[in-house]
Structure 1
Amino acid sequence: MEIISYNDLKNIITTGDIISVAALSVGNLPAEILKHIVEEYDETGSPDNLTFIMANDISDYEDGIDLDAFVQRGMIKRLITSLLTASPATIDAIKNNAIETYFFPQGILAVQYRNHSVSSPGMITKIGLNTSVDPRISGGTVNDATSENLVSVLEIKGEEYLHYDFPGIDAALLRGTFADEKGNIFMTHESHLGEGYSVAAATHQNGGKVIVQVKEIVQSGSFPPYDVFIPGELVDYVVINENPEYHKQVMQAYYDPALSGHYRVRDIQEQPMKLSSRKIILRRAAQFLNEGDVVSIGFGINNELPNVLIEEQAEDLVQLNIDTGIFGGIIGSKDRFGMNYNLDARMRHELTWDFIYHGGHDIAYLSFAEIDRLGNVNVSCFGNKMSGSGGFIDISQTVKTIIFSGTLVAGSQSSCENNQLIIEQEGHSHKFVNNVQSVDFNAAYSRELNQQVFYVTERAVFQLVEEGLKLIEIGPGLDLQKDVLSKMDFDPIISDELNITDQNIYQNDWGELKQSIQRRNHIDKGEDKYEL
């Protein structure tokens, strides 16, 4: 291991390099390394023609030293990622065919580094079959500029698998809290662990360079050996952070010890949710929970599900998990999503996906952008938006029960009165369409996997059945044709026993979720577990 200055990066990062960054937003982001690479380009016009491989989107939300900074300068040739939510310039470049882009499942991106070894033929998995990453659909390619197919279909013992062919890494840009004198990296202050170890190992095996940004060099033996996250044998260079603004734990704070599990807080400063269609959806969706469930919380509307559980004093009945590797505790919502207090455990990102792939979740709460008559779901590309699917595909192909949550119509405004939903203003776009723009969840394949699937909106609840999408429940006081069916581009199957949603969830104070979850625990665990 060699301690270098940021100016030395110009001799290490070169034109054409394939670069891996193991970060999420500002978490684990080596922002000061990125800053100096950008400044070197501004001075010399090099390096460029870069490939970035990232399991998650990165953004510092302030100075612009992130993915957009590279893309705006034309430094990136190819991008392989799962999600883009905070990189508007990058999204515009993708739409304009300025960079080659692949959207792959987040879990695949996190675990594939372990397959860069002399003993492995690459990433072979069923994850992604029959979705947008299947080469028989689009192979994960996002625009016309992306012509090389990195995914192929294999048959092994009569079963289909996907083979992901990722390029080797030339430079790993990573971050830790401390490095000792031998180059061992510790994640002491970080909010999550990430997949940096596997990235470093894959880069080392490929003959690339591993560069780690840290706050400080400490004396060897300062920390227990079992706290080593990346052993010094895998680290080539260490740079010491000079400006705390480029080493934030989360976007709101340089360092909050509660977020790294160093102490527990009594409560998180979350404002109670106002009564709205969003809260109604989450209340209804939460009624599918069983006591003891391990719950996957997805991005979007569902990141406020913990708020509902806390308000209803039901948070201790289930264990929440987000795929960054955080288990249990209090999960923040909206801009605080990913800020986890009182966590029970944290794992390396790639090991968390092992947990998920091995059936660790009982139920997943996922969002949707479009749903079609067959029950297929699009979450990645719709209208003029292009975001990728993150871990949506991985989770939706490995969990037993899925609850898709969202409003029936995009942009609609509603309120509650007398325990009923009042549609005050209709939305501008239908979400229930004849054909989804991107198949990120394949309903037919889901039935092969014997999953239980429900679609919860503020106006109605649907279930995936053999024939397609079935309407099983409608909100109290709503007109079936006017408020539901006319807002869909197709006619769903309508249950002969169409239920009315419990009107109590449409009032300001509810207080029945805890009892509902405990009551469900007495229901048989058979295939009728979710009969309404």
Structure 2
Amino acid sequence: MEQIERQDLQHIVKDGDVIGVAALTVSNLPAELLRNVLEAYDKTGSPKGLTFINANDISSMGIEPELDDFVERGMISRIIMSIMTASPKTADAIKNNEIEAYFLPQGVIATHYRQTNSILPGVITKIGLNTTIDPRYKGGRTNDKTTEQLVTFLNIESEDYLHYQLPPVDVALLRGTYADAQGNIYVSQEAYLSEGYSIALNAKSTHGTVVVQVKEIIDTPDLNPDDVFIPGSLVDYIYVAGDSKHHRQLIQTHYDPVFSGEATTNERIDPPLPFNTRKTILRRAAQFLNEGDTISIGFGINNELSNLLYEENVEHQVQPVQDIGIFGGFIGSGKHFGMNANFDFRLRHDQTWDFIYNGGISVAYLSFAEIDQYGNVNVSYFGNRMNGCGGFIDISQSVQRIIFSGSLVARSQLTIKDEQLEVIEEGTTQKFIPEVSNIDFNASYAKTLNQEVYIVTDRAVFELRNEGLTLIEIAPGLNLEKDVIQQMGFKPLIAKDLKTIDHTIYQEQWGLLAQSIH
């Protein structure tokens, strides 16, 4: 292990290198390392032609270096990631065929590092079959410039699989809280336990370089060897951040021990959810919970489910899980995203996917952008947006019970009065359409997996049955034809015993979720 200064980085990152980063927004982001790489390019015109691999999104609202900073300089030739939510220049570069780009399942990216080396052949898995990731569809490729197949189709003993072969990491740019004198890395103050160890393994397996940004190097007998996150034998260089502002724990704070599990809090991270149709969607969706469920909480509306569980005093009956490695506790949402507190325990990001792939999740709460007449779901590409699939595909193909949640029509205005729903103004965009252009969830494949699938909207509840997508409940106060069927791009099957959604969820004060969990 060698300690380096900022000027040394220009000799480490070279043209054409594959860069491995393990971060979520600014959490675990080696921001000062990335800033120094940008400065080196501004001075010398190098490094360029880089490939960035990152399982999560590293957008930072302009607080720290992010993808857009590299793309606008022309430094990146290819990106491999699962999700991209706030990098408009990168999205434009992809749409304009200026760079190659792959959106692959988050769990596959996070776990592939330790499965891709001279001994192991890369990831062979069923995750991604019959979706946009399958090479029989798009193979995860986003534009015409992206021609190389990183995903191939295999049939092994009459079973279908996908084979993911991602390029090895030349330079791992990672982060920890501290390093000791031997170069061992500790992450005691981080809000997110990344897949950094696996990236370091991948780099070392092909004689790549591992650089880790830390707050300081410490040498004290109080260090617990069980707390080592990355062994020093995997670390080539340590970089001590010269400015703590480039070592933020979260976008919202430089450091708070609550969010790294070093302390607990009696205060709610989020205020209680306002009473509106968004809240009634969550209430109806939560009625599908069973006692002891481990719940995968997705992004979008379902990120607010933890808030509802606490409001209803049932948080002890189930365990919410975020695929970034948070188990239990209060999961922050909206502007408090990433601010998770009082959790039961944490796992490394890649270990969390091991948990999910092996049946650790009993029910998944997922959002949707579009749903078609067959029950297929699109979350990656809609309108002018290019988001990627994140962990949606991994999760939706690894659990037996799925609850999709969202509004029936985008940007409509509804009101609740006397425990009934009323449409004030119709929306502008249908979300239930004849056929989705991009398949992230394949309904026909889900049936072969015997999955239990429900779709909860503000106006109606649907079930994916063998005979097709079936409307099973309608909100009280609505007209079936005018307010539901006419607002869809197709006519769903309608259950013979069509029911009205439980009217009690339309009360401002509810408190009845515990009665539904059994």
Worse-superposed segment, 58-67 or 317-326: 58-67
1:74 maps to what in 2? 74
**What's the secondary structure of 1:394's corresponding residue?**
helix
Residue type at the aligned position of 2:90: T
Structure-2 separation of matches of 1:74 and 1:487: 44
- Cα deviation 1:13-44 (Å, max 9, x = unaligned): 01100001000000000000000101111111
2:299 corresponds to 1:279: no
- Cα deviation 1:58-95 (Å, max 9, x = unaligned): 02323451111001111100000000012121111111
**What's the secondary structure of 2:432's corresponding residue?**
coil
Q: Give runs of aligned pairs for residues 61-140 of structure 1, distance below 5 A.
A: 61-140=61-140
Q: Give runs of aligned pairs for residues 489-500 of structure 1, distance below 5 A.
A: 489-500=489-500
1:55 maps to what in 2? 55
Structure-2 separation of matches of 1:400 and 1:250: 33
Residue type at the aligned position of 1:201: L
Residue type at the aligned position of 1:460: A
Quote how far apart the aligned CAs of 1:294 are.
Answer: 0.3
Quote how far apart the aligned CAs of 1:286 are.
Answer: 0.4
Structure-2 separation of matches of 1:68 and 1:315: 39
Residue type at the aligned position of 2:133: V
2:169 corresponds to 1:169: yes
Residue type at the aligned position of 2:129: L
Worse-superposed segment, 218-227 or 498-507: 218-227
Residue type at the aligned position of 2:298: G
2:403 maps to what in 1? 403
2:289 maps to what in 1? 289
2:412 corresponds to 1:412: yes
**What's the secondary structure of 1:341's corresponding residue?**
coil
Structure-2 separation of matches of 1:403 and 1:178: 41
Structure-2 separation of matches of 1:220 and 1:100: 46
Q: How many pairs align?
A: 518
Quote how far apart the aligned CAs of 1:116 are.
Answer: 2.1
Structure-2 separation of matches of 1:150 and 1:362: 31
Q: Give runs of aligned pairs for residues 4-43 of structure 1, distance below 5 A.
A: 4-43=4-43
Unaligned runs of 5+ in 1: 522-532
2:460 maps to what in 1? 460
Q: Determine if contact 1:433/1:489 at 8 Å carries over to the other structure.
A: yes
2:328 corresponds to 1:328: yes
2:186 corresponds to 1:223: no
Q: Determine if contact 2:176/2:187 at 8 Å carries over to the other structure.
A: yes
Residue type at the aligned position of 1:84: M
**What's the secondary structure of 1:454's corresponding residue?**
strand
Quote how far apart the aligned CAs of 1:271 are.
Answer: 1.3
Q: Determine if contact 2:296/2:322 at 8 Å carries over to the other structure.
A: yes
Summarize the Cα distance change of 1:220–1:231 in structure 2 as closer, same or farther, 3 Å threshold: farther
Structure-2 separation of matches of 1:207 and 1:335: 41
Quote how far apart the aligned CAs of 1:357 are.
Answer: 0.1
2:299 maps to what in 1? 299
2:2 corresponds to 1:2: yes
Q: Determine if contact 1:124/1:164 at 8 Å carries over to the other structure.
A: yes
**What's the secondary structure of 2:499's corresponding residue?**
strand
**What's the secondary structure of 1:34's corresponding residue?**
helix
Q: Give runs of aligned pairs for residues 419-434 of structure 1, distance below 5 A.
A: 419-434=419-434
1:526 maps to what in 2? none
Residue type at the aligned position of 1:443: A
Q: Determine if contact 1:181/1:220 at 8 Å carries over to the other structure.
A: no
Q: Determine if contact 2:24/2:58 at 8 Å carries over to the other structure.
A: yes
Quote how far apart the aligned CAs of 1:310 are.
Answer: 1.1
Quote how far apart the aligned CAs of 1:157 are.
Answer: 1.1
Structure-2 separation of matches of 1:222 and 1:216: 15
Structure-2 separation of matches of 1:359 and 1:51: 33
Quote how far apart the aligned CAs of 1:330 are.
Answer: 0.8
Structure-2 separation of matches of 1:279 and 1:324: 25
2:181 maps to what in 1? 181
Structure-2 separation of matches of 1:507 and 1:466: 34
Structure-1 separation of matches of 2:104 and 2:485: 34
Quote how far apart the aligned CAs of 1:338 are.
Answer: 2.4
Q: Give runs of aligned pairs for residues 363-442 of structure 1, distance below 5 A.
A: 363-442=363-442
Structure-2 separation of matches of 1:9 and 1:3: 11
Q: Determine if contact 1:268/1:332 at 8 Å carries over to the other structure.
A: no
Unaligned runs of 5+ in 2: none
Structure-2 separation of matches of 1:492 and 1:63: 46
Quote how far apart the aligned CAs of 1:223 are.
Answer: 1.0
Structure-2 separation of matches of 1:39 and 1:426: 50
Quote how far apart the aligned CAs of 1:221 are.
Answer: 3.8
**What's the secondary structure of 1:331's corresponding residue?**
coil
Summarize the Cα distance change of 1:426–1:395 in structure 2 as closer, same or farther, 3 Å threshold: same
1:451 maps to what in 2? 451
Residue type at the aligned position of 1:230: I
Residue type at the aligned position of 2:3: I
Residue type at the aligned position of 2:395: I
Identity rate of aligned residues, in percent? 57
2:241 corresponds to 1:235: no
Quote how far apart the aligned CAs of 1:220 are.
Answer: 5.6
- Cα deviation 1:302-336 (Å, max 9, x = unaligned): 00111111111111110010001111111111121
**What's the secondary structure of 1:8's corresponding residue?**
helix
Quote how far apart the aligned CAs of 1:516 are.
Answer: 1.4
Structure-1 separation of matches of 2:296 and 2:143: 30
1:200 maps to what in 2? 200
Structure-2 separation of matches of 1:482 and 1:6: 64
Structure-1 separation of matches of 2:468 and 2:441: 13
1:257 maps to what in 2? 257
Q: Determine if contact 2:464/2:470 at 8 Å carries over to the other structure.
A: yes
**What's the secondary structure of 2:433's corresponding residue?**
coil
Structure-1 separation of matches of 2:301 and 2:29: 25
Quote how far apart the aligned CAs of 1:483 are.
Answer: 0.3
Q: Determine if contact 1:374/1:467 at 8 Å carries over to the other structure.
A: no
1:528 maps to what in 2? none
Structure-2 separation of matches of 1:187 and 1:261: 11
1:527 maps to what in 2? none
Q: Determine if contact 2:116/2:165 at 8 Å carries over to the other structure.
A: no
Structure-1 separation of matches of 2:179 and 2:221: 11
Q: Determine if contact 2:31/2:64 at 8 Å carries over to the other structure.
A: no
**What's the secondary structure of 1:80's corresponding residue?**
strand
Structure-1 separation of matches of 2:220 and 2:145: 49
Structure-2 separation of matches of 1:486 and 1:187: 53
Structure-1 separation of matches of 2:269 and 2:468: 42
Q: Determine if contact 1:128/1:394 at 8 Å carries over to the other structure.
A: yes
Residue type at the aligned position of 1:75: M
Structure-2 separation of matches of 1:407 and 1:391: 21
Q: Give runs of aligned pairs for residues 338-377 of structure 1, distance below 5 A.
A: 338-377=338-377
